[in-house]
Amino acid sequence: MKRLRGLLFADPAIILATIVFGTASLIVSFFDSTGRAQIRVARAWARTLLAVSGVRVSVEGLEHIDPNASYVFIANHLSYMDTPVALANIPAQFRFLAKRGLFQIPLLGTHLSRAGHIPVPREDPRGAVKTLQRAADTIKEKQISLLIFPEGGRSRDGVLQAFKEGGIYIAIRAGVPVAPTIIIGTDAVLPYGGGAPQAGAVTLRILPPIETREYSLKDRGALTERLRALIASELERELTTAGLG
């Protein structure tokens, strides 16, 4: 329970909402093997969490994506609030690529597994490669999208970290576009190491997707760096506009 509280914020209302929606997610999973019903429950949980926390989200760039198409959304990672912000505001049937430890947390782990999210065994490089291959196959077979935080964890100081190549590997192998996604302000409403989230404004910005069909797997390093530079440029522009750059 201590680990659960640390992940889901030290706020009784949020913990209660998580238990309620987690139970609902488990129940609907017995009637829907696609995971789509569970994603709807997860979206309701995310919207409730944001409302309870007083977090207002401004969404930009939805015109760039087709809700019925498949993408690999690649986003920067600032805070635990990034997940509910994405769930509540990206209108696509997407799943997460997440560290395997999250799947061991009561209720959350059950939801992640039964909804079709994909665990990554970071301590097993060979297993991680197989996971990336399975993720690409899942995108093609189930015609869904995937959301990945390629930094491998939250940024402690807000500075964009190096990107791992897994997201681009999956996109190229699946033959789907990469959608650069920028999240701004979640580190202010829930800083690294923080407990309860604070009210505030957050921006979710989706840039025009990058087609990957013309690339091969040997190009994944260069494309990963291109994507990181694109997201870094957006973040720098935001800082400059705010007078912090």
- The one-letter amino acid at 142: K
Q: Please, what is the average pLDDT of the chain?
A: 87
Residue type, 4: L
Rg (CA), the chain: 17
Number of domains in the chain: 1
Q: Measuring CA to CA, which residue among 163, 164, 165, 161 is closest to residue 173?
A: 165
pLDDT of 119-175, one tens digit each?
A: 877 667 677 788 899 999 999 998 999 999 999 888 888 899 999 999 999 999 999
User: Can you point out the beta strands (E) in 20-135?
Assistant: 55-60, 72-75, 94-99, 118-120
For range 106-117, the mean pLDDT:
72
Q: Which residue has the higher pLDDT, 8 or 177?
A: 177
What are the phi and psi torsion angles at 194 (to 5°)?
-75, 165
Structural domain of 148: 2-241
For tokens 């049937």, name the residue.
Answer: 93
CATH number at residue 134: 3.40.1130
Distant-in-sequence, close-in-space partners of 62: CB < 8 Å, separation ≥ 6: 91, 206
Judged against a pLDDT cut of 70, whether residue 51 lies above it is answered with yes
**Phi and psi (nearest 5°) for 36?**
-70, -40
Q: Which of 160, 153, 155 is nearest to 191 (CA)?
A: 155
Q: Which residues contact 239 (CB under 8 A, 6 or more apart)?
A: 245
Q: What are phi and psi of 63, to 5 degrees?
A: -65, -15
Helix (H, G, I), strand (E, B) or coil at 140: helix
**What pLDDT is attached to residue 4?**
41
Percent of the chain with pLDDT over 70: 90
Q: Distance of CA 221 to CAs 77, 99, 103, 163, Å?
A: 20, 22, 29, 9
Interatomic CA distance for residues 134 and 127, integer angstroms:
10
Q: If you ran DSSP here, which 8-state letter would residue 243 be given?
A: T
The residue among 145 and 33 whose pLDDT is bigger is 145
